[in-house]
Amino acid sequence: TRVDAILERSKSQQTKFFALQILEAVIKFRWGALPPEQREGIRNYVSNLIIKLSTDEAVFRAEKVFINKLNLILVEILKHDWPAKWTSFIPDIVAASKTSETLCENSMVILKLLSEEVFDFSQGELTQAKTKELKVSL
């Protein structure tokens, strides 16, 4: 994808947000069609960007809308990949949470969003088997 180039080079918040909306749609509807290495690259890029933006409190507060969208995108990835293809997600998020207070705060937001998706809003989007698998993993 070209989302990384847009996010890094664009000065417009609207352009960045639009790029994230497109990425979210790709993950939601075309994730399985992407090659495994591209899926892993997107997953790593999104999680590393969340960590980068959430570590510094000033940046975390200034980029809140942007980070919230990235969190939603990460949850979409998790709905596809966790726990089967991303077995280390919980240990990863716990380890990252220990590095800064704002990163810990954002990690709790991610877990809350994931929980809401699995327990409240997953009807129609996830198969019953996948919903059950995610609930057991949480």
pLDDT per residue as tens digits for the range 13-31:
999 999 999 999 999 999 9
Domain with 14 in it: 3-137
Q: Is the pLDDT of residue 9 over 90?
A: yes
> 126 pLDDT band (50/70/90 cuts)?
low
Query: What's the pTM value of the predicted model, to 2 decimals?
Result: 0.88
Give the DSSP per-residue string, the chain.
--HHHHHHH---HHHHHHHHHHHHHHHHHHGGGS-HHHHHHHHHHHHHHHHHHHHSHHHHHHTHHHHHHHHHHHHHHHHHHTTTT-TTHHHHHHHHHTT-HHHHHHHHHHHHHHHHHHHTS-TTTS-HHHHHHHHHH-
Confidence tier at 1 by pLDDT (50, 70, 90): low
| Number of structural domains in the chain | 1
pLDDT tens digits, one per residue of 48-58:
999 999 999 99
